[in-house]
Structure 1
């Protein structure tokens, strides 16, 4: 009989395998970072003129709500004007329940504006200018164009006598502009 031989097989160290996995991960991360760095686009926000405010960045939450309501209600104003062939008054819009003209809890919490017509424009003088400024929506005669919306945050804001751009700017009104860039729409057109 032969004596049994005992052979000891030591397990291979995990150090080499771990090193290879870590190097592979580092390579993948490096390639991904390089691709993102080379293909990434930088979008700078367009600067607005000194007489303008950006609707997303420069308005308070209450003012953004009023601004959005005015933009939506503009379509209804145009439809009602076509139906009745006369200008639509703020009282009619309030009776129909259109924000921001309707007197409800939302309008009270957003400045409690007193709405009136000036020519073909709608003026809402704020009763609480610290919450939201006074708004002016100039509606153009053509049905295609957007309305110009202006804001005045002064506590002493009054109805302007001249609705021209220069007169509004000199009276302290600022035009509200909406800028839609890739950060908002997440849409890339190349």
Structure 2
């Protein structure tokens, strides 16, 4: 009877090959990612504008978002040929930021009024707490609309709603710029 001893194959070579293949896959993936990466594009705001994402406080961002939602409702009023509602009516219908509730108090306690100046219409919200949020202006320009912010103390309602007049009185337009970097900002 002959006994033949068969030695097990060394696991060292198999482990080495698997590690080399894994390293090759990682290097290939890193090369593809580096090759396809696009340089970060920063869109600068004009000197008379605030960027809605970068330049506004959390309270101001909330008010800005609420104004954009309310704008959709206001456009429905205009499409139906109805007069624009007073802020009190919008508050009764439950539209933020016109409601005077705890959330509004935490965001600056704005007091809203409807302005009509020379064929132009706007909703003006005077801040009661300028250290939390500035005063806002939602200007309706037919189909277009714009949101303006003034952080100066004692924000009085503007008497002229044209861009140049607003900018001259300390108002800055809030610009919403959405690009690929919206979710990829790294502030260190």
Q: Report TM bin, short chain.
A: 0.7 to 0.9
Gaps spanning 5+ residues in structure 1: where? none
Q: Offset at 1:32? A: 1.0
Name the count of aligned residue pairs: 180
Give 1:84 deviation, angstroms.
6.1
> Who is 1:179 aligned against?
177
Return closer, same or farther for 1:82/1:30 CA change in 2, 3 Å cut-off: closer
Q: Deviations over 1:21-52 (max 9, x none)?
A: 11111111111111111122233131111111
2:140 corresponds to which residue? 139
> Are the structure 2 counterparts of residues 30 and 82 from structure 1 closer, same or farther at C-alpha, using a change threshold of 3 Å?
closer
Superposition deviation, residue 7 in structure 1: 4.5
Q: Which has the larger radius of gyration?
A: 1
Q: Which runs of 4+ in 1 moved over 6 A?
A: none
More strand by percentage: 2
Query: Residue 94 of structure 1: CA displacement?
Result: 1.7
Shift of 1:6: 5.0
Task: Report the Cα distance in structure 2 between the residues aligned to 1:88 and 1:100, rounded to whole angstroms.
Answer: 14
1:19 to 2:16 alignment: yes
Instruction: Identify the residue that residue 165 of structure 1 maps to in structure 2.
Output: 163
Paired with 1:75 and 1:7, the residues of 2 have a C-alpha distance of: 86
Q: Which secondary structure does the structure 2 equivalent of 1:139 belong to?
A: strand
My pick for the range that moved more, 46-55 or 175-184, is: 175-184
**Displacement of 1:182:** 2.2
The change in CA–CA distance for 1:10 and 1:185 in structure 2 (over 3 A counts) is closer
Greater shift after overlay, 54-63 or 155-164? 155-164
What TM-score, normalized to structure 2? Answer: 0.86
Alignment of 1:31-42 (within 5 A): 31-42=28-39
Structure 2 SS opposite 1:9: coil
Structure 2 spans left out of the alignment, 5+ residues = none
1:122 equivalenced with 2:119 (yes/no): no
Query: CA RMSD for the aligned pairs?
Result: 2.1
